[in-house]
């Protein structure tokens, strides 16, 4: 049987965006699988890390952007450190996550994306992480109200949980969030789609 | 400030505690400040620092992930030439931001529109462990030792302290030894074990707890097989997972470890004879008092 794979299918434009964002050449990977062998989370992923690269090499970008794998990657940098071809796979995962958010693709790992969102919103609001609110909002968002709640009083009595946020870093964080939003929306850029992430 | 060696210049750093050290990891902060004082290291807190953005920022937007650290590094530059970080995750994010600003033109140009990026690049970002080994030196650590703790310790480095080496510019990424060197100099026995740099699942502690429980249980099991008294860590996220999740591991996986987790600064502080209250000893959830009493550590 004859298969025809068109160039546009193998190298859609978005691959270039992924390569620019990650600073990696997707073609360098020779599929040895070392990244997946050492990945601590591989067992929980729907597709092991090396196959994510393979999907990109074959032009299956939409599929890659919808994988659980990209959200379960813990950014532990093991793959990046060990790759014999010096592919920075953790950077590719970051690029895929960034693009998935920009495109508004629904994450199959909702808890992870929700956590990220709440985390950044507390940083934006207070300048520093405020654990009480972070955990409270996360539990509310996942409808799992009492998760880890037995830990709170223990941590509190050990002096490790604050009841009120600290506002000292607020000005700095606020400025950064505002400025980043401004430069992202100014001028025609290659990734100028409005960010839905933050 | 003069060090006893006299030849070394005063050590002054812009200190970036990061969010954790002001909250769940106050014990790391306390012990860092106490040890720094004992060693004559001058720490000036980065003025009005903010969160580095951590994992959520780099998962969401690479520009934000570089901008938050850069702004903090610029603020750090106003108080010292070098910046001291204790949290391995913050350390990683700051070093990554510098690398991305240097290598990615897109980030550099965009950020330069909103801040003087060259100032963020000129500061040297250091992890406390590295400062103790390189600038203070193990000889000085040995000199300051007041009591023999008699502890057998597994040094757990976690992922982000040494990986990837191109970014962290520290010791061996697969088998680092600098924490071992420090604790050995302070009179402890450290063990060679295979899980020094295995990932603990870090930021998935809340979101995918079952993954974290599995990873942490593996690490604790390895430490147990190495027959250690405790584990030494250098990162608040590692500490949170290894310490706080032990009760869940008992409940959900039926595995009982009860291995006390210390920050390396707490162990050093005790070896230096500093007061336990000043080192935040006893703030962790796994009890360590029993072990310390059994070893006669005051
Ligand atoms: S280790 Fe590198 S070359 Fe090997 S499969 Fe993974 S990314 Fe490809
Ligand atoms: S960075 Fe992500 S993909 Fe790579 S080894 Fe770690 S968890 Fe796996």
Domain boundary among A102, A124, A152: A102
Q: How far is the CA of A34 from the centre of ligand 1 (A)?
A: 6
* The two structure tokens encoding residue A89: 């796979």
A139 domain residue, yes or no: yes
- Give the residue, A1 or B233, on which the prediction is more confident: B233
Q: Is the pLDDT of residue B117 over 70?
A: yes
User: Which ligand 1 atom is at minimum distance from the Cα of A30?
Assistant: 3
**CA–CA dist B53, B57 (Å, integer):** 5
A142 domain residue, yes or no: yes
Q: If DSSP codes are grouped into helix, strand and coil, which group holds residue B124?
A: strand
Tens-digit pLDDT profile for residues B194-246? 999 999 998 798 889 999 999 999 999 999 999 999 999 999 999 999 999 99
A2 domain residue, yes or no: no
Do residues A144 and A183 share a domain?
no
Give the count of domains, chain A.
Answer: 3
| A160–B283 CB contact, under 8 Å | yes
Do residues A148 and A67 share a domain?
no
- Count Cβ–Cβ pairs < 8 Å, chain A vs chain B: 180
In short, whether A74's Cβ falls inside 6 Å of ligand 2 is: yes
Do residues A182 and A162 share a domain?
no
A157 domain residue, yes or no: yes
List the domain range (segments joined by +) for residue A55: 9-102
| A81–B207 CB contact, under 8 Å | no
Do residues A37 and A62 share a domain?
yes
Do residues A33 and A97 share a domain?
yes
Tens-digit pLDDT profile for residues B153-163? 999 999 999 99
Strands (E), chain A: none
Q: If DSSP codes are grouped into helix, strand and coil, which group holds residue B16?
A: strand
Using a pLDDT cut of 70, give the percent of chain B over it: 97
Burial of A3 (0-12, 13-18, 19+ CB in 10 A): exposed
Q: Give Cα separations from A197 to A55, A183, B58 (angstroms).
A: 24, 15, 11
Q: Mean pLDDT over all residues of chain A?
A: 87
**pLDDT of res. B7:** 46
Q: If DSSP codes are grouped into helix, strand and coil, which group holds residue B244?
A: helix
Do residues A128 and A175 share a domain?
no
Tens-digit pLDDT profile for residues A141-177? 777 766 776 777 788 778 888 778 888 899 999 999 9
**pLDDT of res. B3:** 43
Helices (H) and strands (E) in chain B, counts: 17, 8
A87 domain residue, yes or no: yes
CB distance B78 to B67 below 8 Å: no
A4 domain residue, yes or no: no
**pLDDT of res. A145:** 67
Do residues A20 and A60 share a domain?
yes
Ranges A8-17, B80-89, B184-193, B289-298: which has the least confidence: A8-17
Residues 6+ apart with CB under 8 A from B147: B187, B270, B271, B273, B297, B298
User: Which ligand 2 atom is at minimum distance from the Cα of A35?
Assistant: 5
Tens-digit pLDDT profile for residues B4-50? 444 456 899 999 999 999 888 999 999 999 999 999 999 999 999 99
Do residues A98 and A154 share a domain?
no
Which residues face B85 on adjacent strands?
Answer: B16, B127
Mean pLDDT of all residues in B266-285: 96
Please give the order of strands across the beta sheet that includes B261-263.
Answer: B189-190, B152-156, B230-233, B261-263
A185 domain residue, yes or no: yes
Q: Which value does ipTM take for this structure?
A: 0.90
* The two structure tokens encoding residue B271: 């070896």
**pLDDT of res. A44:** 95
In short, whether A92's Cβ falls inside 6 Å of ligand 1 is: no
List domains and CATH numbers for chain B: 7-128 (1.20.1050.140), 138-294 (3.40.50.11810)
User: Which ligand 2 atom is at minimum distance from the Cα of A78?
Assistant: 5
Do residues A116 and A86 share a domain?
no
Nearest Cα to Cα of residue B216 among B195, B188, B189, B192: B195
Q: Mean pLDDT over all residues of chain B?
A: 94
Could you count the other beta carbons within 10 Å of the beta carbon of residue B114? 18
Do residues A43 and A14 share a domain?
yes
Nearest-CA residue for ligand 1 atom 8 is: A29
Searching chain B, which residue's CA lies closest to the CA of residue A87?
Answer: B164
| B71–A176 CB contact, under 8 Å | yes
**pLDDT of res. B9:** 63
Do residues A56 and A74 share a domain?
yes
Tens-digit pLDDT profile for residues A113-129? 999 999 999 999 999 98
Do residues A118 and A33 share a domain?
no
């Amino acid at each position: 049987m004859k298969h025809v794979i068109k160039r546009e299918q193998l190298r859609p434009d978005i691959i270039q965006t992924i390569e620019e964002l990650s600073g990696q050449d997707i073609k360098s990977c020779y599929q040895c699988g070392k990244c997946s062998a050492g990945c601590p989370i591989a067992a929980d992923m729907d597709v092991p890390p090396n196959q994510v690269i393979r999907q990109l090499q074959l032009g299956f970008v939409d599929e890659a952007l919808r994988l659980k794998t990209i959200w379960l990657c813990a950014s532990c940098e093991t793959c990046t450190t060990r790759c014999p071809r010096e592919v920075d796979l953790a950077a590719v995962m970051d690029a895929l996550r960034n693009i998935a958010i920009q495109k508004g693709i629904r994450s199959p790992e909702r808890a992870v994306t929700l956590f990220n969102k709440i985390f950044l919103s507390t940083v934006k609001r207070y300048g520093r992480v405020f654990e009480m609110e972070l955990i409270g909002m996360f539990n509310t968002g996942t409808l799992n109200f009492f998760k880890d709640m037995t830990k709170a009083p223990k941590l509190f009595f050990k002096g490790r949980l604050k009841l009120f946020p600290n506002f000292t870093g607020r000005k700095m964080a606020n400025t950064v969030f505002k400025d980043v939003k401004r430069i992202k929306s100014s001028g025609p850029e290659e990734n100028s789609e409005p960010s839905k992430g933050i | 400030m003069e060090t006893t060696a006299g030849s070394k210049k005063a050590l002054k750093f812009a200190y970036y505690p990061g969010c954790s050290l002001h909250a769940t990891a106050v014990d790391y902060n306390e012990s860092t400040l106490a040890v720094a004082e004992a060693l004559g290291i001058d720490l000036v807190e980065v003025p009005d620092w903010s969160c580095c953005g951590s994992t959520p920022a780099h998962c969401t937007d690479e520009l934000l992930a570089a901008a938050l650290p850069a702004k903090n590094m610029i603020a750090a530059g106003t108080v010292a030439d070098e910046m001291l970080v204790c949290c391995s995750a913050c350390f990683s994010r700051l070093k990554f931001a510098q690398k991305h600003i240097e290598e990615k033109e897109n980030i550099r140009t965009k950020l330069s529109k909103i801040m003087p990026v060259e100032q963020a690049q000129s500061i040297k970002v250091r992890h406390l462990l590295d400062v103790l080994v390189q600038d203070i030196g193990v000889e000085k650590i040995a000199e300051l030792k007041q009591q023999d703790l008699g502890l057998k310790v597994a040094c757990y480095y976690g992922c982000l302290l040494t990986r990837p080496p191109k970014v962290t510019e520290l010791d061996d990424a697969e088998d680092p030894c600098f924490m071992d060197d420090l604790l050995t100099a302070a009179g402890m026995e450290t063990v060679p074990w295979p899980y020094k740099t295995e990932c603990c699942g870090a930021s998935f502690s809340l979101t995918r707890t079952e993954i974290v429980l599995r990873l942490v249980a593996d690490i604790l099991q390895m430490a147990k097989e190495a027959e250690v008294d405790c584990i030494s860590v250098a990162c608040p996220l590692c500490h949170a997972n290894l310490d706080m999740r032990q009760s869940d591991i008992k409940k959900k996986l039926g595995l009982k470890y009860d291995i006390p987790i210390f920050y390396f600064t707490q162990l050093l502080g005790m070896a230096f004879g500093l007061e336990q209250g000043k080192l935040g000893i006893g703030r962790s959830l796994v009890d360590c008092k029993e072990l310390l009493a059994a070893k006669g550590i005051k």
